[in-house]
A and B are shown apart, each in its own frame.
Chain A
Amino acid sequence: MPDPVPAPGALAWPAETRVVGHSTHRIDAEAKVTGRARYASDIQADGWLYGMILRSKWPAARVAAIDLAPALQVPGIVAAVPARDGERTIRFYGEELAAVAGKSKQACLDALRAIRVTATPLPFVVREDDAKADGAAPVWDTAANFIPGTPKEQGSVDAAFGECAAVVEGFYTTPVQIHHPLETHGNTVSWTDDGVTAWASTQGIGSVRDGLAGALQLDQSRVRVVTEYMGGGFGAKFGPGVAGILAAKLSRQAGAPVRLMLTRFDQALAVGNRPSSFQKIRLGALADGTLHAFDFENYGTAGIGAGKASEGGGGGANLPMPYIYKVPNVRTKQAAVAVNAGPASAFRAPANPPASFGMEGAMDDLATKLGVDPVAFRIQNDPNPIRQREYKVGAEKFGWAQKYRRPDPAALALATAGPIRRGVGCAGANWGGGGNKNTGAEVEIHSDGSVEVRLGVQDIGTGTRTVIAVVAAEVFGLAPEQITVRVGDTRFPPGPGSGGSTTCPSVSPAVLDACTNALRQLQTQAGLSDIRDAKGANWAAACRKLGAGTVAARGMWQPGLSSSGAGGVQFAQVAVDTEIGLVTVEKIVAVHDCGRIVNRVTTESQINGGIVMGLGYALYEERVMDPASGVVLNPNFETYKLSGMADVPDIDIVLLDMPERGVIGIGEPATIPTAAAIANAVANALGVRVFSLPITPAKVLAALGKVPSPTPA
């Protein structure tokens, strides 16, 4: 949807761009490849202490007392604080109990072991189906684990199914996925009488400032958050979190800055995840291939974030169905189920990848049943004209017409020599995004021609710093590396959180506005009667005329330069070994649009990243809970598998540049359709569908009838 139409004569992107839309090296790449870039976890503030959190080993317990005195006896330990005062109930394995600060990591490890916790274990439940059952252990005292959703109906679904020429049904499940940024959550916090400074590994410096101020009862103006570099977030790193607040309290008690970074184990337990989904789908089409009826029932868990009626939080288990397709008769019924596990949080394109997996699977099975081509079937039923175009572009690039064969299990079994079968699949993505109108920027132009642009935004790894340099360079007629970009400080003009694919459409207009204002000011302030255009070749001469002066200008996000609504389609080719069940993704073709491309190379890198993450969601990633003990069984990288170097397929990216639409983000849509496309390719290869992510070898073999189903009923 386009933003409000700007007034005539309003700020606009140049008709011809010299830097915007081309490819510029990340301006901070050198800092990153030399180790010079300082991340939150690298901060060594004067006199800093190491911080660490004690976590519950019980999935549910009543904690009567926490004795921190023995921890304070450990040599080197300077401070110890409880996570909460007084008696309390623990609701998941890994919930925070207390924290310590000391002069070394070793001292902290010893101190955590010394803390005495008096607690009574309580009954718990960690599996979705168990939590729904009668008599299940209650996760919350004040709310049921599961309250069935209210059906929402559009049209007349039951009657409509009677009119369908073909109907498919399936039960699709997706796992709880963990964000696992390579830098864990954490902060270095210094709390003195002057206020709080937090060096945070965050994707929202403003959210950390406001969260700390609220929790510590300080004025927001007395909290400063600095994030020069941070090592990934993917939705989980907003706000200070429990760890940030504990670091602040430790700092206050110790009288020294405290660096408290989570361990990799902590990361898997307590700081967010993507909810699971259990989707019962029924989809029907008329004889001409038009989608006609859709019936959907779904539940999923957001851990303790679900069922939390008294404290808010819907659980995030609701999926946008029937996703990108137009169906006249639709019935949906969805609800979240609470279990004793860490709460969910936003995760790259929340709710979209699971929705895409379920819906696109049903689409492919229905196309097979109707005997129509899945790409043509999508173009017929997806009303979005950009995506329709992308399917055509992608099919051509991928060689869909040559590669696609209608799956026929009997023929496949006979025709295939050897155990390897190949298949192809596709899926589409949709994302809103859009710019944040409260984004500001400030620019200083110095008499030596150097330029500084400052924004209170953070670069989460998408290349925000470089985007800012690109836009500024465009306006001033300079090269991007001539622009000094300063981000990641709440003392700079307010910027958006890096989430929802909103950063680029927020900062690009603000920088364009600020730089345009600065250029205008340079013309007048320097009294440039003899230089009509201060840009480019005249830049140095124009700036020299500032003498002892400096141009300082500000700008804000302006309408008409960005918009929302990004699409994209992806095609996957897989090879499946039917003897051992292993799926190898051989090729992905990704066709995406995000309006006006600001920096092509970093845009493509984000698409790579979305695909690699989607690959993990498709084949490898799943948080595994033990129903007997209530613990997370795979809180590390040896048992929670991310896509590795050898797993990543050949990726071909086609970017549709649509400058007329303004700037739109790309982070979320890039990861949405990958798992669905891979799952469809696997189904195409096998002639039977694996209805459950991740598509492990055991599930493939079970789908082929070679082993019993590994999925608990």
Chain B
Amino acid sequence: MNAPDPNPDDAPLLGTHSRRAFLKGFGAITISAAASQTQAVAAELEKLNAEKIVGPGPVPVTLRVNGETLSLSLEPRVTLLDALRNVSTYTGTKEGCDRATCGACTVLLDGAPIYSCQMLAIEAQGHAITTVEGLAQDGKLTPVQKAFAERDATMCGYCTPGFVMAATALLKENPHPTPADVRRACSGNLCRCGTQPRVVEAVLQAAGGAADNGTPGDLHA
């Protein structure tokens, strides 16, 4: 369960059934049709029709989460969030809205932040998924996690994993962000307790910038 899955047969579904891929194929057909290449159109349609239909019952789905391989049996309609939180034990990824508005479910897909409630688990195959549990290595917090703890950028903490993932992705892209960069990068994350000012401070601290104001200097621990 801990080595990356070497079997490519388990991870080819992405691209063969997704709506985007279908539309792309369809676009190619129209262009071809305009060129009166009817034979090519027929061939393309035949190829599309031959695609494997999956579901509605459970199908094998293989996910690579934090470097581990998960072999699951899921209905194709199961989201990545649902697969992580409810079918597996990655409950660090939170569900706040289940409709792409709160960001609590943010994970990294090949290093880029995504709302895991907006991707089907079956689509996430073949990608490297990182959840908040996968950040700290050997119990050592990442600079972002450490800064969130030190700057009190967490209150009830339910939104925190999402913010931590968004901030982690930001610093990878932009190691020296301005406060405005931080706000933009985290604008897809909601917090009801009001940690926003602390989040900005924490991300700037993690980036090695000067911690401006707000938190007194005599913090213990």
Which residues in A have some Cβ–Cβ distance to B below 8 Å? 19, 22-26, 28-39, 41-42, 44, 50, 104-106, 179-184, 229-232, 234, 261, 263-264, 460-463, 479-481, 600-602, 604-606, 608-613, 636-638, 642-646, 648, 651, 653
Contact = CB atoms under 8 A, between A and B. Distances in A.
B123 interface: no
Contacts of A480: 220-221
Nearest to A644: B187
Given A23-B216, A646-B183, A461 B155 contact: yes
Interface stretch (B10-18, B22-30, B32-40, B94-102): B94-102
A264 B158 contact: no
Interface residues of B, number: 65
Given A35-B93, A182-B190, A264-B97, A25 B152 contact: yes
Interface string B88-115: 0111111111110110100000000000
- Among B89, B93, B156, the most chain A Cβ lie within 10 Å of the Cβ of B156
Contacts of B136: 34
Given A32-B160, A232-B156, A613-B194, A636 B99 contact: yes
A609 B155 contact: yes
B164 A642 contact: no
Contacts of B145: 30, 33-34
Given A32-B154, A34-B92, A36-B92, A181 B160 contact: no
B221 A25 contact: yes
A140 to B, nearest CB: 32
B197 A608 contact: yes
Contacts of B193: 182, 232, 461, 605, 609
A605 B155 contact: yes
B218 A26 contact: no
Interface string B192-215: 111111111000000000000011
Given A25-B220, A230-B156, A462-B155, A35 B96 contact: no
5 contacts: A34-B145, A264-B98, A481-B220, A613-B194, A644-B190
Interface string B55-87: 000000000000000000001011000100111
B91 A29 contact: no
B198 A34 contact: no
Given A106-B77, A645-B186, 9 more contacts: A25-B219, A29-B152, A33-B132, A35-B92, A36-B92, A605-B195, A636-B99, A643-B194, A646-B184
A264 B184 contact: no
A181 B158 contact: yes
Q: Which 5 A-B pairs have the closest CB atoms?
A: A35-B92, A461-B156, A231-B158, A609-B194, A612-B194
Interface centre among B87, B158, B190 (most CB of A within 10 A): B158
B99 to A, nearest CB: 6
B48 interface: no
Nearest to A179: B192
B21 interface: no
Contacts of B187: 644-646
Given A636-B97, A637-B102, A612 B196 contact: yes
A37 B133 CA distance: 11
B183 A32 contact: no
Contacts of A23: 215-216, 218-220
Interface of B: 75, 77-78, 82, 85-87, 89-99, 101-102, 104, 131-133, 135-136, 141, 145, 148-150, 152, 154-161, 164, 182-184, 186-187, 189-200, 214-216, 218-221
A33 B155 contact: no
A479 B149 contact: no
Contacts of B161: 33, 35
Contacts of A33: 132, 141, 145, 148-149, 154, 157, 160-161, 164
Contacts of A611: 194
A25 B156 contact: no
Which of A32, A182, A636 lies at the interface centre, i.e. has the most chain B CB atoms within 10 A of its CB? Answer: A182
Contacts of A642: 190, 192
Looking at chain B's contact residues, the main secondary structure is loop
B197 A182 contact: no
A605 B194 CA distance: 8
Contacts of A606: 155
Given A480-B221, A605-B152, A651-B197, A637 B97 contact: yes
B34 to A, nearest CB: 38
Contact of B195 (A22, A601, A608): A608
A636 B117 CA distance: 15
A37 B192 contact: no
B194 A30 contact: no
Contacts of B160: 32-33
B81 to A, nearest CB: 10
A481 B149 CA distance: 13
A44 B91 contact: yes
A263 B99 CA distance: 10
Contact of A264 (B96, B182, B200): B96
B61 to A, nearest CB: 13
B158 to A, nearest CB: 3
Contacts of A612: 191, 194, 196-197
A479 B152 CA distance: 18
Nearest to B149: A29
A182 B156 contact: yes
A232 B158 CA distance: 8
A182 B159 contact: yes
A671 to B, nearest CB: 9
Contact of B141 (A30, A180, A653): A30
Contact of B152 (A35, A231, A601, A646): A601
A34 B133 contact: yes
B158 A182 contact: yes
A479 B95 CA distance: 35
B101 A637 contact: yes
